[in-house]
Homo-oligomer: A and B are copies of this chain.
Amino acid sequence: MNVDDLPTPALVVDLDAFDANVATMAARWPATTLRPHVKAFKSTALAGRLAAAGHVAFCCATVREMEGMAAAGLGHDLLLANEVLGPAAERLGALARSGEARVTAAVDSDATVDAAADAGVTEVLVDVNIGLPRCGCHPADAGRLADRCRSRGMTVRGVMGYEGHLMREPAAAKATGVKQAGELLLTALEATGGDVASGGGTGTWSTNEWATELQAGSYCLMDTEYVAHAPEFAIALSLSTTVISSSPAWGVLDGGLKCLGMDHGNPTVLGAGECLFVSDEHITVGWRHGDWLEPGSRVRVLPAHVDPTVAYHDRMHVVHDGEVVDEWPVDLRGW
Protein backbone atom coordinates (compact mmCIF):
# COMPACT_ATOMS: atom_id res chain seq x y z
CA MET A 1 0.00 0.00 0.00
CA ASN A 2 1.19 3.50 -0.80
CA VAL A 3 1.50 5.76 2.21
CA ASP A 4 -1.09 8.09 0.67
CA ASP A 5 -3.68 5.32 0.71
CA LEU A 6 -3.53 4.91 4.51
CA PRO A 7 -6.67 5.94 6.36
CA THR A 8 -5.92 9.20 8.14
CA PRO A 9 -4.84 10.35 10.64
CA ALA A 10 -1.99 7.85 10.59
CA LEU A 11 1.33 7.82 12.38
CA VAL A 12 4.11 7.13 9.87
CA VAL A 13 7.74 6.09 10.42
CA ASP A 14 10.30 6.75 7.68
CA LEU A 15 12.31 3.53 7.81
CA ASP A 16 15.46 5.00 6.23
CA ALA A 17 15.55 7.84 8.76
CA PHE A 18 14.91 5.41 11.61
CA ASP A 19 17.66 3.04 10.48
CA ALA A 20 20.09 5.94 10.11
CA ASN A 21 19.28 7.17 13.62
CA VAL A 22 19.85 3.70 15.05
CA ALA A 23 23.19 3.40 13.25
CA THR A 24 24.37 6.86 14.33
CA MET A 25 23.65 6.13 17.98
CA ALA A 26 25.10 2.62 17.87
CA ALA A 27 28.40 3.93 16.50
CA ARG A 28 28.93 6.00 19.65
CA TRP A 29 27.02 3.81 22.15
CA PRO A 30 27.25 0.20 20.92
CA ALA A 31 25.58 -2.89 22.38
CA THR A 32 24.66 -2.52 26.05
CA THR A 33 26.45 0.79 26.50
CA LEU A 34 23.07 2.02 25.22
CA ARG A 35 19.99 1.20 27.28
CA PRO A 36 17.21 2.39 24.95
CA HIS A 37 14.31 4.07 26.74
CA VAL A 38 11.10 2.31 25.78
CA LYS A 39 8.91 5.22 26.92
CA ALA A 40 9.73 7.13 23.74
CA PHE A 41 8.09 4.59 21.42
CA LYS A 42 6.12 2.09 23.55
CA SER A 43 6.44 -0.61 20.92
CA THR A 44 7.96 -4.06 21.28
CA ALA A 45 8.27 -4.28 17.48
CA LEU A 46 10.48 -1.20 17.43
CA ALA A 47 12.36 -2.42 20.50
CA GLY A 48 13.02 -5.69 18.70
CA ARG A 49 14.81 -3.75 15.97
CA LEU A 50 17.07 -2.18 18.58
CA ALA A 51 17.76 -5.57 20.14
CA ALA A 52 18.71 -6.89 16.71
CA ALA A 53 21.15 -3.97 16.48
CA GLY A 54 22.80 -5.21 19.68
CA HIS A 55 20.99 -3.13 22.31
CA VAL A 56 19.51 -5.95 24.36
CA ALA A 57 19.19 -4.08 27.68
CA PHE A 58 16.30 -1.61 27.94
CA CYS A 59 14.88 0.87 30.35
CA CYS A 60 11.20 1.52 30.95
CA ALA A 61 9.15 4.22 32.64
CA THR A 62 6.13 2.10 33.65
CA VAL A 63 5.45 -1.39 34.94
CA ARG A 64 3.23 -1.95 31.91
CA GLU A 65 6.27 -1.38 29.68
CA MET A 66 8.32 -3.81 31.80
CA GLU A 67 5.64 -6.52 31.61
CA GLY A 68 5.12 -6.05 27.89
CA MET A 69 8.82 -6.16 27.08
CA ALA A 70 9.19 -9.37 29.10
CA ALA A 71 6.20 -10.96 27.41
CA ALA A 72 7.72 -10.10 24.00
CA GLY A 73 10.93 -11.94 24.88
CA LEU A 74 12.88 -8.73 25.36
CA GLY A 75 13.50 -9.22 29.08
CA HIS A 76 17.25 -9.89 29.01
CA ASP A 77 17.94 -6.88 31.26
CA LEU A 78 15.10 -4.46 32.03
CA LEU A 79 15.52 -1.40 34.21
CA LEU A 80 12.47 0.40 35.56
CA ALA A 81 14.02 3.87 35.58
CA ASN A 82 11.27 5.15 37.83
CA GLU A 83 10.05 4.80 41.38
CA VAL A 84 7.08 2.59 42.24
CA LEU A 85 5.01 1.97 45.34
CA GLY A 86 1.87 0.03 46.19
CA PRO A 87 0.21 -2.10 43.49
CA ALA A 88 2.80 -1.08 40.87
CA ALA A 89 5.65 -2.31 43.08
CA GLU A 90 3.81 -5.56 43.69
CA ARG A 91 3.45 -6.13 39.93
CA LEU A 92 7.12 -5.38 39.42
CA GLY A 93 8.08 -7.87 42.09
CA ALA A 94 5.84 -10.50 40.53
CA LEU A 95 7.62 -9.99 37.21
CA ALA A 96 11.02 -10.34 38.90
CA ARG A 97 9.96 -13.50 40.73
CA SER A 98 8.52 -15.01 37.53
CA GLY A 99 11.98 -15.29 36.04
CA GLU A 100 10.65 -14.02 32.69
CA ALA A 101 12.97 -11.03 32.83
CA ARG A 102 15.95 -9.67 34.67
CA VAL A 103 14.36 -6.82 36.63
CA THR A 104 16.20 -3.88 38.14
CA ALA A 105 14.29 -1.15 39.96
CA ALA A 106 15.23 2.45 40.69
CA VAL A 107 14.92 3.47 44.34
CA ASP A 108 15.39 6.89 45.91
CA SER A 109 13.83 6.71 49.41
CA ASP A 110 13.28 4.37 52.33
CA ALA A 111 9.74 3.86 51.09
CA THR A 112 10.76 2.77 47.58
CA VAL A 113 13.56 0.55 48.91
CA ASP A 114 11.12 -1.18 51.21
CA ALA A 115 8.45 -1.48 48.51
CA ALA A 116 10.94 -3.13 46.15
CA ALA A 117 12.24 -5.50 48.82
CA ASP A 118 8.76 -6.39 50.06
CA ALA A 119 7.66 -7.17 46.50
CA GLY A 120 10.54 -9.50 45.80
CA VAL A 121 12.71 -7.30 43.58
CA THR A 122 16.32 -8.40 43.98
CA GLU A 123 18.36 -5.84 42.00
CA VAL A 124 18.31 -2.06 42.21
CA LEU A 125 19.97 1.13 41.10
CA VAL A 126 20.01 4.00 43.54
CA ASP A 127 18.40 6.93 41.70
CA VAL A 128 20.38 10.09 42.46
CA ASN A 129 19.24 13.65 41.86
CA ILE A 130 21.89 15.36 39.76
CA GLY A 131 20.12 18.63 39.07
CA LEU A 132 16.68 18.07 37.54
CA PRO A 133 13.94 18.70 40.13
CA ARG A 134 12.30 15.31 39.73
CA CYS A 135 13.09 11.88 41.19
CA GLY A 136 16.37 10.86 42.82
CA CYS A 137 17.76 11.03 46.32
CA HIS A 138 20.18 13.71 47.49
CA PRO A 139 23.67 12.54 46.42
CA ALA A 140 24.78 12.49 50.06
CA ASP A 141 22.04 9.97 50.89
CA ALA A 142 22.95 7.43 48.19
CA GLY A 143 25.34 5.36 50.32
CA ARG A 144 22.87 5.06 53.17
CA LEU A 145 20.12 3.92 50.79
CA ALA A 146 22.45 1.36 49.21
CA ASP A 147 23.18 -0.05 52.66
CA ARG A 148 19.46 -0.23 53.33
CA CYS A 149 18.98 -2.12 50.05
CA ARG A 150 21.66 -4.63 50.98
CA SER A 151 20.23 -5.00 54.47
CA ARG A 152 16.97 -5.99 52.78
CA GLY A 153 18.78 -8.62 50.71
CA MET A 154 18.93 -6.76 47.41
CA THR A 155 21.91 -6.31 45.13
CA VAL A 156 22.95 -2.73 44.34
CA ARG A 157 24.07 -2.64 40.72
CA GLY A 158 25.06 1.03 40.98
CA VAL A 159 23.38 4.37 40.41
CA MET A 160 21.30 6.23 37.89
CA GLY A 161 20.77 9.94 37.37
CA TYR A 162 19.22 12.07 34.66
CA GLU A 163 20.67 15.39 33.58
CA GLY A 164 17.41 16.31 31.86
CA HIS A 165 17.68 19.97 32.87
CA LEU A 166 20.65 20.28 30.50
CA MET A 167 19.22 18.75 27.30
CA ARG A 168 18.28 22.14 25.84
CA GLU A 169 21.29 24.17 27.00
CA PRO A 170 23.74 25.73 24.52
CA ALA A 171 26.76 23.55 23.79
CA ALA A 172 29.26 25.12 26.20
CA ALA A 173 26.87 25.28 29.14
CA LYS A 174 25.69 21.76 28.36
CA ALA A 175 29.25 20.41 28.37
CA THR A 176 30.06 22.02 31.72
CA GLY A 177 26.76 21.04 33.29
CA VAL A 178 26.86 17.44 32.13
CA LYS A 179 30.40 17.08 33.48
CA GLN A 180 29.35 18.46 36.87
CA ALA A 181 26.28 16.23 36.95
CA GLY A 182 28.50 13.25 36.22
CA GLU A 183 30.82 14.15 39.09
CA LEU A 184 27.84 14.12 41.44
CA LEU A 185 26.73 10.73 40.13
CA LEU A 186 30.17 9.10 40.17
CA THR A 187 30.77 10.29 43.73
CA ALA A 188 27.46 8.72 44.67
CA LEU A 189 28.53 5.51 42.90
CA GLU A 190 31.61 5.30 45.11
CA ALA A 191 29.28 5.45 48.10
CA THR A 192 26.77 2.90 46.84
CA GLY A 193 29.10 0.37 45.29
CA GLY A 194 28.27 -1.44 42.06
CA ASP A 195 29.55 -0.71 38.58
CA VAL A 196 26.62 0.90 36.76
CA ALA A 197 26.27 4.65 36.20
CA SER A 198 23.11 4.84 34.10
CA GLY A 199 21.99 8.20 32.74
CA GLY A 200 21.88 10.65 29.90
CA GLY A 201 19.53 10.88 26.98
CA THR A 202 19.24 11.87 23.35
CA GLY A 203 20.02 15.50 24.16
CA THR A 204 23.37 14.63 25.78
CA TRP A 205 24.32 11.63 23.65
CA SER A 206 27.46 13.36 22.36
CA THR A 207 28.26 15.29 25.56
CA ASN A 208 27.93 12.64 28.22
CA GLU A 209 31.32 11.06 28.99
CA TRP A 210 30.46 9.38 32.26
CA ALA A 211 27.48 7.11 31.71
CA THR A 212 28.32 3.41 31.59
CA GLU A 213 24.99 3.10 29.76
CA LEU A 214 23.02 5.87 28.05
CA GLN A 215 19.23 6.03 28.57
CA ALA A 216 18.21 7.45 25.19
CA GLY A 217 14.94 6.78 23.39
CA SER A 218 13.79 9.87 21.49
CA TYR A 219 16.65 9.55 19.00
CA CYS A 220 14.88 6.68 17.22
CA LEU A 221 11.93 8.74 15.96
CA MET A 222 12.72 12.35 16.97
CA ASP A 223 10.46 15.42 16.84
CA THR A 224 10.64 19.09 15.90
CA GLU A 225 11.67 20.17 19.38
CA TYR A 226 14.41 17.62 20.02
CA VAL A 227 16.06 17.95 16.61
CA ALA A 228 17.42 21.35 17.61
CA HIS A 229 19.25 19.74 20.54
CA ALA A 230 20.48 16.59 18.78
CA PRO A 231 20.71 17.58 15.10
CA GLU A 232 22.63 14.42 14.19
CA PHE A 233 19.32 12.54 14.27
CA ALA A 234 16.60 12.94 11.64
CA ILE A 235 12.88 13.29 12.23
CA ALA A 236 11.55 9.84 11.32
CA LEU A 237 8.01 10.29 12.68
CA SER A 238 5.19 12.16 10.99
CA LEU A 239 1.42 12.24 10.97
CA SER A 240 -0.33 11.70 7.65
CA THR A 241 -3.52 13.76 7.38
CA THR A 242 -6.16 14.65 4.82
CA VAL A 243 -7.48 18.12 4.03
CA ILE A 244 -11.17 17.83 4.92
CA SER A 245 -12.19 21.46 4.48
CA SER A 246 -10.62 24.34 2.60
CA SER A 247 -11.18 28.04 1.99
CA PRO A 248 -8.87 30.49 0.22
CA ALA A 249 -7.43 31.59 3.57
CA TRP A 250 -7.17 28.40 5.57
CA GLY A 251 -7.65 24.67 5.46
CA VAL A 252 -8.47 21.96 7.99
CA LEU A 253 -6.61 18.67 8.43
CA ASP A 254 -8.15 15.58 10.05
CA GLY A 255 -5.60 15.26 12.83
CA GLY A 256 -5.82 17.06 16.16
CA LEU A 257 -5.19 17.12 19.89
CA LYS A 258 -5.86 13.38 20.15
CA CYS A 259 -3.05 12.59 17.67
CA LEU A 260 -0.38 14.91 19.04
CA GLY A 261 1.44 15.54 22.30
CA MET A 262 1.00 19.29 22.64
CA ASP A 263 3.23 20.24 25.58
CA HIS A 264 5.97 21.42 23.22
CA GLY A 265 3.53 23.47 21.15
CA ASN A 266 2.01 23.16 17.73
CA PRO A 267 3.17 20.67 15.12
CA THR A 268 4.91 21.71 11.92
CA VAL A 269 2.90 21.39 8.72
CA LEU A 270 5.04 20.30 5.78
CA GLY A 271 4.71 22.13 2.49
CA ALA A 272 1.27 23.60 2.98
CA GLY A 273 1.40 26.60 5.28
CA GLU A 274 1.44 27.28 8.98
CA CYS A 275 -0.41 25.58 11.83
CA LEU A 276 -2.73 28.26 13.23
CA PHE A 277 -4.31 26.18 15.99
CA VAL A 278 -5.16 22.60 16.90
CA SER A 279 -8.60 21.36 17.98
CA ASP A 280 -9.70 17.93 19.18
CA GLU A 281 -9.84 16.39 15.71
CA HIS A 282 -8.66 19.29 13.52
CA ILE A 283 -5.55 21.21 12.62
CA THR A 284 -6.31 24.60 11.09
CA VAL A 285 -3.60 25.59 8.60
CA GLY A 286 -3.10 29.09 7.24
CA TRP A 287 -2.29 28.49 3.57
CA ARG A 288 0.75 30.14 2.16
CA HIS A 289 0.03 32.39 -0.79
CA GLY A 290 -0.56 30.17 -3.80
CA ASP A 291 -0.59 26.95 -1.76
CA TRP A 292 -4.33 26.48 -1.38
CA LEU A 293 -4.96 22.72 -1.23
CA GLU A 294 -8.26 21.13 -2.19
CA PRO A 295 -10.19 18.75 0.09
CA GLY A 296 -8.79 15.26 -0.22
CA SER A 297 -5.16 16.39 -0.47
CA ARG A 298 -2.65 14.66 1.80
CA VAL A 299 -0.55 16.74 4.20
CA ARG A 300 2.29 15.54 6.44
CA VAL A 301 2.62 16.99 9.92
CA LEU A 302 5.65 16.75 12.22
CA PRO A 303 4.85 16.36 15.94
CA ALA A 304 6.56 18.65 18.44
CA HIS A 305 6.99 15.92 21.10
CA VAL A 306 7.45 12.28 20.18
CA ASP A 307 6.64 10.43 23.42
CA PRO A 308 3.14 11.79 24.19
CA THR A 309 2.32 11.70 20.46
CA VAL A 310 3.02 8.00 20.07
CA ALA A 311 1.04 7.26 23.25
CA TYR A 312 -2.18 8.39 21.51
CA HIS A 313 -1.85 5.83 18.69
CA ASP A 314 -2.33 2.09 18.57
CA ARG A 315 0.13 1.55 15.69
CA MET A 316 2.85 3.11 13.57
CA HIS A 317 2.97 2.54 9.81
CA VAL A 318 6.50 1.94 8.57
CA VAL A 319 7.23 3.43 5.16
CA HIS A 320 10.06 2.87 2.69
CA ASP A 321 10.18 4.60 -0.70
CA GLY A 322 6.55 5.68 -0.29
CA GLU A 323 5.29 2.14 0.36
CA VAL A 324 3.99 0.85 3.69
CA VAL A 325 6.30 -2.06 4.46
CA ASP A 326 5.47 -2.82 8.07
CA GLU A 327 3.22 -1.98 10.99
CA TRP A 328 4.55 -1.58 14.52
CA PRO A 329 1.83 -1.87 17.17
CA VAL A 330 2.13 0.63 20.02
CA ASP A 331 1.50 -2.21 22.45
CA LEU A 332 2.98 -0.77 25.65
CA ARG A 333 0.45 2.01 26.35
CA GLY A 334 -1.25 2.41 29.70
CA TRP A 335 0.21 1.71 33.13
Contact = CB atoms under 8 A, between A and B. Distances in A.
Interface of A: 7-9, 39, 61-62, 82-88, 108-109, 111-112, 127, 129, 133-136, 138, 164, 242, 244-247, 249-250, 252, 254, 257-258, 261-263, 276, 278-282, 284, 294-296, 305, 307-308, 311-312, 314, 333-335
A335 B61 contact: no
A85 B335 contact: no
Contacts of A129: 247
A300 to B, nearest CB: 16
19 contacts: A39-B281, A61-B281, A62-B281, A82-B254, A85-B242, A85-B296, A86-B296, A108-B245, A112-B244, A112-B245, A129-B247, A133-B276, A134-B284, A135-B282, A138-B247, A257-B308, A258-B308, A280-B308, A314-B334
A257 to B, nearest CB: 4
A190 to B, nearest CB: 22
B244 A84 contact: yes
B39 A295 contact: no
Nearest to A281: B61
B305 A133 contact: no
Contacts of A333: 258
A314 B87 CA distance: 18
A86 B83 CA distance: 46
A311 B312 contact: yes
